[in-house]
């Protein structure tokens, strides 16, 4: 499936693993591999003359690229590249140029175990940790023991796991992407979420989780239920049972892993809007009145307002606002916006008296907003219950965390 793997940064290729020897190198390919700072660039480049394509995943300023034939499923390859990143992050903490060069031997060993002749094999970090050779703090080579569970029906779960205190942690993280009209109505909104599960449980326990998307509830219930779309589970989940009962039943791996990911297309009210009114007081002066309104409590709010090029001076009546010449935007920041809060501020700009006639009249496009929401999910997905069934019958300490943040959140100005 995968012909070749590259790890590269803006300087060039750091590591290469060629599985089949069919990729032909030329200048266009090298330039595509070096581009690691272009977020709007298409991640797939097709080389029609050679009948192959390259798929690139950028993480932490490092590009992980795969050369494939034109008949291969591109989304499947992107998932494999993402899992390779997760494994390397789990092993080395960070994925940087220095960490790749310092641990290139271990990376080659991991790639040999994860992919065989281009086909994915073992992509579970907990399994790989059991028998991949690694150097300990003293620089010695640990003894290699092939674990018993590699060829079993549960390769993600080690045998004879024991803890003095059994506990688990469930984290629901969501990211919202939305386009909002200038009068505050949602044009298009999508929410992507994932459920992270951290397990420190003895033995081989069975865990049952219920979300508020279940359809098997009593009629007349006052609880609000959410229709979750495109949900994808970890290999440990019994998907047949979920299809019948909407209950997530699984035998968890030891440690932290992504239990599920989902997406929701919603027509919900925008959680935050910015209404901007631009007034050109003179040829060199502009005044922007902004009203920031939010429905829920938010933290680390950043509002990027488009302004003309070459701003000479900027004044703001409330909050911290600076001019970013690279983005040509006035960046307004605040640490917190309260529930149902409303903040109004004025931005006064001075621009050069002589403007380039080739550029034409300045037009404002979108306001970009970034924020984080603690202790709540924007889609309304909530955990109803979590049960642990084990032979030992031990007590379990549970902790539930819910967070949300903004993705590409845009508000039209006109």
Q: Which domains does the chain have, with CATH numbers?
A: 2-146 (3.30.450.60), 167-268+388-409 (2.60.40.1170), 272-354+364-374 (2.60.40.1170)
What is the C-alpha separation between 124 and 121, in angstroms, rounded?
Answer: 9
The arithmetic mean of pLDDT across residues 178-183, rounded, is 89
Residue 246 pLDDT > 50, yes or no? yes
pLDDT digits (tens, 9 = 90+) for 198-224: 999 998 899 999 988 754 433 344 456
Tokens 């990729």 map to which residue?
A: 23
* 63-81 per-position pLDDT tens digit: 898 888 888 888 889 889 9
CA distance 297 to 337: 6
Q: Say which residue the tokens 């991640």 belong to.
A: 43
Looking up tokens 């590259």 gives: 6
pLDDT per position as a tens digit, 360-413: 556 778 999 999 998 888 888 888 899 999 888 899 999 999 999 998 899 988
Predicted confidence (pLDDT) at residue 135 exceeds the cutoff of 60: no
Closest C-alpha to 390, from 106, 140, 200, 105: 200
pLDDT of amino acid 265: 84
Rounded mean pLDDT, 269-279: 88
CA distance 110 to 17: 11
pLDDT for residue 9 is more than 70: yes
Q: What is the 3-state secondary structure (H, E, C) of 123-178?
A: CCHHHHHHHCCCECCCCCECCCCCCHHHHCCCCCCCCCCCCCCCEEEEEEEEEEEE
Per-residue pLDDT tens digits for 333-369: 999 888 777 888 888 888 876 555 555 556 778 999 9
């Amino acid at each position: 499936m995968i012909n070749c793997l590259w790890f590269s940064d803006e300087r060039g290729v750091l590591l290469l693993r060629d599985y089949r020897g069919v990729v032909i190198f030329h200048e266009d390919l090298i330039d595509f591999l070096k581009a690691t700072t272009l977020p709007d660039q298409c991640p797939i480049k097709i080389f029609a003359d050679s009948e192959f394509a390259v798929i690139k995943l950028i993480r932490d300023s490092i590009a992980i690229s795969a050369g494939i034939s034109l008949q291969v499923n591109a989304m499947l390859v992107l998932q494999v590249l993402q899992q390779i990143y997760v494994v390397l992050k789990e092993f080395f903490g960070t994925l940087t140029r220095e960490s790749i060069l310092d641990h290139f031997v271990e990376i080659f060993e991991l790639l040999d175990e994860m992919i065989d002749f281009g086909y994915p094999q073992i992509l579970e970090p907990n399994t790989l940790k059991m028998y991949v050779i690694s150097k300990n703090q003293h620089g010695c080579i640990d003894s290699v023991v092939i674990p018993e569970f590699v060829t079993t029906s549960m390769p993600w779960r080690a045998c004879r796991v024991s803890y003095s205190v059994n506990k688990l942690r469930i984290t629901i993280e969501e990211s919202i992407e939305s386009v909002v009209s200038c009068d505050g109505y949602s044009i298009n909104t999508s929410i992507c979420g994932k459920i992270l599960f951290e397990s420190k449980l003895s033995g081989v326990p069975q865990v049952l989780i219920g979300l508020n998307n279940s359809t098997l509830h009593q009629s007349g219930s006052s609880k609000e239920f959410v229709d979750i779309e495109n949900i994808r589970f970890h290999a440990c989940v019994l998907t047949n049972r979920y299809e019948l009962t909407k209950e997530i039943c699984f035998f968890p791996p030891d440690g932290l892993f992504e239990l599920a990911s989902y997406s929701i297309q919603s027509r919900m009210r925008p959680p935050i809007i910015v209404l901007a009114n631009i007034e050109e007081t003179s040829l060199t002066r502009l005044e922007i009145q902004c009203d920031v309104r939010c429905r829920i409590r938010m933290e680390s709010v950043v509002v990027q307002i488009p302004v003309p090029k070459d701003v000479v001076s900027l004044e703001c009546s409330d909050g911290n606002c600076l001019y970013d010449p690279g983005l040509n935007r006035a960046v307004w920041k605040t640490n917190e916006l309260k529930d149902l809060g409303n903040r109004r501020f004025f931005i006064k700009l001075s621009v050069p008296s002589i403007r380039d006639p080739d550029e034409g009249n300045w037009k404002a496009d979108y306001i970009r907003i970034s924020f984080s929401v603690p202790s709540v999910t924007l889609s309304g997905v909530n955990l109803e219950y979590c049960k642990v069934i084990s032979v030992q019958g031990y007590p379990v300490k549970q902790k539930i965390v819910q967070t949300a943040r903004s993705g590409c959140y845009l508000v039209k100005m006109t």
